[in-house]
Amino acid sequence: MSLTLYGFDGSPYVRTVKMLLKEKNAEFDQLQINVMKGEPHHPDHLVRHAFGKVPVIEHDGFRVIETSAIMAYLDEVLPGVSLTPDNARDRARANMAQAIYDSYGYGSMASVFGYYLFPDFIGGQNDESRLKGIQGSKLVLTEIMKLKGSDPYIAGKSLSVGDLYLAPACAYLAMTPDADEVFAVTGFETWWASIQSLPSFKTTPPQ
Ligand SMILES: N[C@@H](CCC(=O)N[C@@H](CS)C(=O)NCC(=O)O)C(=O)O
C-alpha cells in the first residue's frame, strides 16, 4: 500500500486529514507543499489539484482532492477506528459540521487567526474583516456546539470527521488574543479540552 499526503503542516485542512491518518494508525508519506510560498500554484501541483489547493492524497495510484472527499475515502479504505457515525442522524450531524465549516467557518476563522499569524497571506491586517470574522466564527462555533448538544463529540459519543474538521482552525484561533471572545460559546470548553488531549491532535502541530 502506498499513501502520500500532499500539503504542508501549516494548513488546517491538511491537519484534518493528518489527524484522521493518525487516528487510523496509517503509514503515509507527506510532501510539504507550502501554501505560504505559493507552492500549490506551481505547475507540478496544479496537475494534482487544478484549483491550486492542498490537501491532495494519492493512494495506490488513485488521486483524491478536496478534504470532504479525502476524509470519506480514507475512512472507508483504511482499517482501524471508523470516523463515520453508524446511524443516519449522527452521520447528518457530522456532515452538517463539515459543511458549516467549509461554507461559513474556515473563511471567518482564517480572517481572525490570519490577522495575527499570517497577515501578509490574507492581504494585510484589516480590522473590519477581523471583527466580522470574530462574529462569523462565534456563530459557526455556536451552531456546531448545538449539533453536539450534551454529547462529548460533535456527532455523538465518538470522535468523527466533524470534530477533525473543526479542530485545526480552533488550534490557530487559540494562539490569538481573540480566542477568549471567539471561544465563549456554550459547550465549547469541554469539547476543546477533549480534542486537545487526543494523540492525533498532539502529534500534528502546525509547523
Ligand atoms: N475546498 C478545499 C479547501 C482547501 C484549502 O483551502 N486549502 C488551503 C490551505 S488550508 C490552500 O491550499 N490554500 C492555497 C491557496 O489558496 O493559495 C478542500 O476542502 O480541500
pLDDT score of 90 more than 90 = yes
Q: Above pLDDT 90, what percent of the chain?
A: 99
What pLDDT is attached to residue 2? 97
- pLDDT tens track for 14-56: 999 999 999 999 999 999 999 999 999 999 999 999 999 999 9
pTM attached to this predicted model: 0.98
Does ligand 1 have an atom closer than 6 angstroms to the CB of 107? Answer: no
Identify whether 82 is part of a domain. no
Mutate to test the pocket of ligand 1, among 5, 49, 54, 204 (most ligand atoms within 8 A of CB): 54
**Do 99 and 17 lie in a common domain?**
no
3-6 and 56-59 beta bridge pairing: antiparallel
**Do 131 and 180 lie in a common domain?**
yes
- Bridge partners, residue 31, by sequence: 6
Q: Give the dihedral sign, CA 182/140/11/26.
A: positive
Parent domain of 68: 3-77
pLDDT score of 108 more than 90 = yes
What pLDDT is attached to residue 88? 98
What pLDDT is attached to residue 19? 98
**Do 107 and 73 lie in a common domain?**
no
If DSSP codes are grouped into helix, strand and coil, which group holds residue 57?
A: strand
Quick one: average pLDDT of 159-179?
98
Residue nearest to atom 13 of ligand 1 (CA): 53
Quick one: average pLDDT of 171-189?
98
**Do 23 and 123 lie in a common domain?**
no
Q: How far apart are CA 189 and CA 195, in angstroms?
A: 10
What pLDDT is attached to residue 1? 87
Quick one: average pLDDT of 66-80?
98
| CATH number of the domain to which 19 belongs | 3.40.30.10
Which residues contact residue 44 at a Cβ distance below 8 angstroms, ignoring those fewer than 6 apart? none
Instruction: Report H helices in the chain.
Output: 12-23, 43-46, 67-77, 88-100, 106-117, 127-148, 161-174, 179-182, 188-196, 199-202
Which residues contact residue 99 at a Cβ distance below 8 angstroms, ignoring those fewer than 6 apart? none
110 C-alpha vs ligand 1 centroid, how far in Å? 11
What pLDDT is attached to residue 162? 98
Does ligand 1 have an atom closer than 6 angstroms to the CB of 16? Answer: no
Q: Give the domain-ending residue among 51, 77, 103.
A: 77
- pLDDT tens track for 124-167: 999 999 999 999 999 999 999 999 999 999 999 999 999 999 99
Identify whether 19 is part of a domain. yes
pLDDT score of 179 more than 90 = yes
* C-alpha cell read off for 48: 494534482
